[in-house]
Amino acid sequence: MAIKVYGSMFSTATLRVLLCLAEKDLDFELINVDLASGENKTPHMLSRSPFGHIPAFEDGDIKLFDSRAITQYISRTYADKGTDLITKEPKKAAMESVWMEVEAHEFDPVTKKLAWELCMKRFLFGQKGDDVVVNAEKKKLECVLDVYEARLSESKYLGGDSFSLADLHHAPMIKFMMDTQMKEVFDARPCVSAWVVDILSRPACVKIFSVPAY
Amino acid sequence: MAIKVYGSMFSTATLRVLLCLAEKDLDFELINVDLASGENKTPHMLSRSPFGHIPAFEDGDIKLFDSRAITQYISRTYADKGTDLITKEPKKAAMESVWMEVEAHEFDPVTKKLAWELCMKRFLFGQKGDDVVVNAEKKKLECVLDVYEARLSESKYLGGDSFSLADLHHAPMIKFMMDTQMKEVFDARPCVSAWVVDILSRPACVKIFSVPAY
């Protein structure tokens, strides 16, 4: 049975899972969930993802939700396929875990607000973003990326010498930010900038980000 | 060398790590970080935890930050000691991961705001909490715990049949909520209520929560 992903190409969380599947060279079926009509809140989807978020995931008899839990499942279950995304050595795995948590709690909240103000408000409601909010969040992003710059000046990837889930989890939102004025915040930091180029040029990223969202 | 935790008994994130160490029967030294004087933002602490959060953690030559990454490190490194907190079987581990993410992204943000409005504002600034915010967050908590009730009606613990990190990560904030008017939201849901009693009566919880914060 094929792996099924219930999600949307507009969702960075869905893209996180698709990137992981691409790194693992796994086939999958993407079942589009129409966020505009609220399909994610229908009983059918709530039975798969009870908080109403996408993506939901199915692999044979296992059904999961939450993108970061799904990528961990894929990485562990298909450890021998494609790119090794989680190391088994506890000390190295610990650093990967730290930076996965940093993505979820420091990077994603700030960039999500920026994505909302800079793009989604206009796209969904035809409204301009709030400059005060954008400037405040930009300052937060600068502080976050200062810590990333320090980390990436001493190790090629966030978790260590190898690309891992810690890096992969950032890719969809970084791709999004590169098409906004926030690109300059990344570009101003040499190690961050080199890391961004490295990640976005990976074959899995090129493949998934070339799939049209419509 | 003893395990060192740089944190505070006032911090639910610190308590999360201490509970994990207690479940594993591991000795540790707690080095108090004085949040009131901003010690968490000093160069010494920022070198251990670059975003300025507590706890920071040291075990021999490994230094980590972020409570949830630390508990995963402890659970994997000391797998054979004390309570087994992460299963090695990928399908079961996946469900534990899902509910660890739910704690971090659904449960913690709501209860953190409630803790701020109901307790911390008064404790730190002598201000009363905002009833409008409290009522809005209470409604969110009810929705979150409805999903928990459904989950816990079909499995004893969040990750499955056994207590795991997915449950442990909730314990400090649950303990906090039990001393507030939010207790009724937990008590109104039989499976959630039984789970709360079960978790808080574990020897590790009784031990850690009996340590005075002053």
Put simply, the answer to whether A76 touches B65 (Cβ < 8 Å) is: no
Put simply, the answer to whether B64 touches A95 (Cβ < 8 Å) is: yes
pLDDT at residue A191 tops 90:
yes
**Would you say how long chain B is, in residues?**
214
At residue B156, the pLDDT reads 97
Q: Which CATH superfamily is domain B3-84 in?
A: Glutaredoxin (3.40.30.10)
What digits encode the pLDDT tens for the residues B77-119?
Answer: 999 999 999 998 889 999 999 999 999 999 999 999 999 999 8
| Domain layout of chain A by residue ranges | 3-84, 90-206
Instruction: Judge whether B132 and B144 are in contact, CB under 8 Å.
Output: no
pLDDT at residue B211 tops 80:
no
Put simply, the answer to whether A69 touches B101 (Cβ < 8 Å) is: yes
What digits encode the pLDDT tens for the residues B182-202?
Answer: 999 999 999 999 999 999 999
Give CA–CA dist B87/B94, Å, rounded: 9
What digits encode the pLDDT tens for the residues A75-94?
Answer: 999 999 999 999 988 899 99
Band (A213; pLDDT cuts 50, 70, 90): low
Prediction pTM value: 0.95
At residue B119, the pLDDT reads 87
Band (A147; pLDDT cuts 50, 70, 90): very high
pLDDT at residue B214 tops 60:
no
The interaxial angle of helices A171-178 and A108-115, nearest 10 deg, is: 40
Instruction: Judge whether A195 and A129 are in contact, CB under 8 Å.
Output: no
Q: A90-206 belongs to which CATH class?
A: mainly alpha
Distance from the Cα of residue B173 to its chain's centroid: 6
Q: Which of B91, B95, B142, B149 is the best mutation test for A, with the most CBs of A within 10 A?
A: B91
At residue B213, the pLDDT reads 65
Mean pLDDT of B111-132: 89
Residues 6+ apart with CB under 8 A from B60: B1
Interface of A with B in 117-156 (CB under 8 A): 144, 147, 150-151
